[in-house]
Amino acid sequence: MTRRLLIAGNWKMHGSVEMTTDLISGIARAALETATLSEQRELAYDILVCPPSVYIPAAVKAADSQPIRVGAQNAHAKSQGAYTGEVALEMLSELGCDYVLLGHSERREIFSETDDEVASKFAACCENGSMVPVLCVGETLAQRQQGQTETIVAAQIDAVLDKVGIAGFSKAVIAYEPVWAIGTGETATPEQAQAVHAFIRAKLAELDADVANALRILYGGSMKAENAADLLGQPDIDGGLIGGASLKVESFAAICDAAHVLALS
DSSP letters for 244-258:
GGGGSHHHHHHHHHH
Asked if residue 101 lies in contact with residue 138, where contact means CB atoms within 8 angstroms, the answer is no
**Separation CA 249–CA 65 (nearest Å):** 18
Spatial neighbors of 206 by CB under 8 A, at least 6 apart, are none
Which is nearest to 135 in space by CA: 162, 165, 175?
175
Give the CA distances from residue 28 to residues 11, 25, 53, 66, in Å, rounded to whole numbers and listed in that order: 16, 5, 21, 6
Phi and psi, residue 179, nearest 5°: -55, -35
29 membership: H or E segment, kind and range? helix 17-37
Task: Indicate the residue type of 177.
Answer: E
Annotated catalytic residues are 104, 177
**Separation CA 81–CA 76 (nearest Å):** 10
SS3 181: helix
**Separation CA 120–CA 54 (nearest Å):** 24
